[in-house]
């Protein structure tokens, strides 16, 4: 009974979330999209707490930028925005795409997941994008914690010569990342690279291309997590 009721509530919730917020071409549509952005995507929190930090002289990280953030992004010189949520038809993406165009920033859409590891090519392609994007650049996901954290870690390892401890620090409570959650699989990814480097120190690109096995890393993460 309770499982059926819960399923119906979740179905109603999904239907409600997708029923509006897909049009910003009219005043009425923009108002609805802003409500969607605040209620469904929690923009009202990010508007006050952008979770924005500088990674290097050419890169920043943050949560989903709101249009009110773009004057600041322009002031610090952002030329490219790397959206790790991927393209979408809903409010947050429509407002971001519009703001990037208004402020002359190039928007790059690249979808990652917080609780599921990408393939070797997924991460290699991400590193290629982070290398070729016009700088300075902003890297973001929704909260700026998990997907942004692993992208920032890989960027620092690959393009800034950072050590593994500096990379691991990009996945921390400072950025609202919770290592003990399912998103801890991203920490385990870095731990797996570090373990390989203990006996065979190699660049992260080489490890991703020739040694990284997402199925094996996932299995070892779940085995470790099941032990508490």
If you write DSSP's letter for every residue of 89-108 in order, what string do you get?
A: SSHHHHHHHHHHHHTT-EEE
Contacts of 79 by beta carbon, 8 Å cutoff, 6+ apart: 105, 106, 133, 134, 135, 136, 137
Residues 74 and 180 in one domain: yes
Q: What percent of the chain has pLDDT over 70?
A: 93
Q: Output the pLDDT for position 148.
A: 98
Q: Output the pLDDT for position 5.
A: 56
Give residue 189's domain range: 50-226
The structure tokens 């108002």 sit at 31
Contacts of 64 by beta carbon, 8 Å cutoff, 6+ apart: 41, 43, 46, 85, 92, 96, 140, 141, 142, 143, 144
**pLDDT higher than 60, residue 167:** yes
As for how many domains the chain has, the answer is 2
Asked if the structure places residue 45 within a domain, the reply is no
pTM greater than the 0.85 cutoff: yes
Bridge partners (DSSP) of residue 106 are 80
**pLDDT higher than 60, residue 151:** yes
Q: pLDDT tens, 25-39?
A: 999 999 999 999 999
**Sign of dihedral through CA atoms 35, 38, 41, 43?**
positive
Asked if the structure places residue 2 within a domain, the reply is no
pLDDT band at 136 (very low <50, low <70, confident <90, very high): very high
Q: Output the pLDDT for position 20.
A: 74
pLDDT band at 12 (very low <50, low <70, confident <90, very high): low
Q: pLDDT tens, 70-123?
A: 999 999 999 999 999 999 999 999 999 999 999 999 999 999 999 999 999 999
What whole-number distance in Å separates Cα of residue 67 and Cα of residue 14?
Answer: 25
What would the mean pLDDT of 57-64 be, rounded to a whole number? 98
Residues 68 and 26 in one domain: no
**pLDDT higher than 70, residue 16:** no
User: What's the CATH code of the domain at 141?
Assistant: 3.90.190.10
Q: CB atoms < 10 A from the CB of 31, how many?
A: 11
**pLDDT higher than 90, residue 18:** no
């Amino acid at each position: 009974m309770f499982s059926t009721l819960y399923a119906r509530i979740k179905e109603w919730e999904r239907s409600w979330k997708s029923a509006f917020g897909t049009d910003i071409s009219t005043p009425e549509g923009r108002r609805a999209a802003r409500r969607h952005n605040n209620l469904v995507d929690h923009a009202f929190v990010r508007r006050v707490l952008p979770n924005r930090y500088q990674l290097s002289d050419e890169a920043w990280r943050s949560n989903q930028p709101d249009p009110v953030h773009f004057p600041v992004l322009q002031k610090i010189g952002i030329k490219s925005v790397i959206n790790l949520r991927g393209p979408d038809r809903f409010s947050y993406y429509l407002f971001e795409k519009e703001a990037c165009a208004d402020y002359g920033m190039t928007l790059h859409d690249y979808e990652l997941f917080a609780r599921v590891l990408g393939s070797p090519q997924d991460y290699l392609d991400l590193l290629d994008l982070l290398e070729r994007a016009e700088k300075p650049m902003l890297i973001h996901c929704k909260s700026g914690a998990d997907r942004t954290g692993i992208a920032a870690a890989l960027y620092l390892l690959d393009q800034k010569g950072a050590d593994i401890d500096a990379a691991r620090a990009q996945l921390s409570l400072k950025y609202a990342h919770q290592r003990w959650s399912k998103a801890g699989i991203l920490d385990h990814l870095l731990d797996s690279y570090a373990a390989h480097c203990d006996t065979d120190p190699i660049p992260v690109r080489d490890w991703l291309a020739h040694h990284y096995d997402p199925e094996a890393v996932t299995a070892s993460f779940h085995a470790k997590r099941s032990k508490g």
